[in-house]
Amino acid sequence: MAGSPDDPFTLAFVGYADPAASERAAAYEDRVLPLLDDHGARLLYRGRRVADADPSLPLEVHLIWFPHRRAFDAYIGDERRLALIDEFGEVFTHKHAVELETVTGPG
């Protein structure tokens, strides 16, 4: 990840799930995303694949703002988050996390 450890940053998360695991994946996210608040982070956007879309497309897409790297590290290492991973298992077949750089439009 680029930038100073003290700089805020935005992360895009894209998670893929088999149709059979979609409800479990959504339930996991319902429980884990509220933990962001405890680390000073904000969920800017959460979207889910429409019901009749190709199931090979991502199930969930998130944009998350973190105030600094320590907040990200604290969220990743949060014991409650790790317990939810143990409880739900791996709900995504594939996932990407991409740090974003703001790009302004033309003009």
The band of 104, judged by pLDDT with boundaries at 50, 70 and 90, is: confident
| pLDDT over 60 (residue 1) | no
Burial 38-75 (b: 16+ CB within 10 A, else e): ebebeeeeeeebeeeeeeeebbbbbebbbebbebbebb
Q: What is the pLDDT of residues 14-73, one digit of tens each?
A: 999 999 999 999 999 999 999 999 999 999 999 999 989 999 999 999 999 999 999 999
pLDDT of residue 4: 85
Global confidence as pTM: 0.90
Q: Which amino acid is at 79?
A: E
Residue 17 neighbours by CB distance under 10 Å: 23
If one compares 3 and 95, the residue with the highest pLDDT of the two is 95
Cβ pair 62, 10 in contact under 8 A = no
